Amino acid sequence: MHSPRSLLVTGGAGFIGANFVRYFLDAHPEARIANLDSLTYAGSLDNLRGALDDPRHTFIHGDIANGPLVLSLMRSHHVDTVVHFAAESHVDRSIDGPATFVHTNVLGTFVLLEAAREVWGGLTLASAGSGDGSVRFHQVSTDEVYGSLNDDDPPFTERTPYAPNSPYSASKAAADHLVRAYAHTYGLPITITNCSNNYGPLQHPEKFIPTVIAACLAERPIPVYGTGRNIRDWLHVRDHCTAIDTVLRRGAPGGTYLVGADNERRNIELTRIICRLLDELRPRAAGSYEELISFVTDRAGHDFRYAIDAGKLTAELGWKPDIEFETGLRETIEWYVRRATANAAE
């Protein structure tokens, strides 16, 4: 059992990272968080409203690839737990400019591992999991490292070979391999989670669900790649946060756990669900939002299907998702509608 008390959270001003910071501060009053984020286009201090005023939370503007800075933070904050969210994560951007993905996702992970190894030097896997005073390096990864599935393929498991198909997923695969190597070679106490597609409040507008919602609200064509038949497993970000918390505390050092909601949807199906909910929540003057759906040229190398078998996480640690999909999606849409209304009033 690991008891995180002083955490270094990387990428904690981004979508999943900020949701985790806010969740963890609420769930664990004894914890302190040093939050390191470079505030690229995908990160915003607005995502940390409330947390910025919490004395247990310290925000640091900086790059995870800055070795002296990371080492200084590890020491000055007496970090016992690293939760590594920071990553470039948009597939289209990785196709257009892969160098940034290698810098952040590969080099940045290496710098963090080296700092953890120096500060926590001499630990073994056995001693690291022994209770009070233990440390943990947690790598937040993606199901995209496993490649693509066909309609009738079984879901990914922890035993699925890595087969990344985009510069983004390749850079995350490289980071995962580094984390595993540091556990095997240096005895660094690590855990890894590979999650399915997240949705919920604070997500950047370039992602699929916010893109569909924004197009509807602006009465613009809703862009859907190809025929819209690509399939993703959708996980609410809050459920992702509870899964990471569970793995941090009770996951086996050196272990990998897949996190999913068993909630596969074709892109076109999900688009129509969003349109239907918006028809109810904010009706158009004439017709349904579905009339705005527009199929566009498919993404290069577009993976067809991702699916997660989270059975290991459920069987070993008792975790399961709590948020029913349509409930979570409705709440997410309502959040974006409120934000759009507030922005229009400014």
Could you give the residue numbers annotated as active site? 143-144, 168
Tokens matching residue 290: 């579905």
Residue 60's H or E segment, with its range, is: strand 57-61
What CA–CA distance (Å, rounded) separates 163 from 145?
Answer: 6
What length is written for the chain?
Answer: 346
CA distance 195 to 163: 16
Distance CA 21, CA 44 (A): 13
Half-sphere exposure of 157 (CA within 13 A, CB side): 6
Q: List CB contacts of 326: < 8 A, sequence separation 6 or more.
A: 273, 277
Nearest to 343 by CA among 217, 181, 156, 176: 217
Kindly state the helix (H) or strand (E) to which residue 184 belongs, with its residue range: helix 167-186
Residue with tokens 């005023």: 53
Query: In sequence order, what are the beta bridge partners of 33?
Result: 7, 57
Q: Number of helices (H) and strands (E), helices first, in the chain?
A: 12, 12
- Return the SS3 of 62: coil
Residue of 62, 61, 7 whose CA lies nearest to 32: 7
> Of 9, 7, 2, nearest to 62 (Cα)?
9
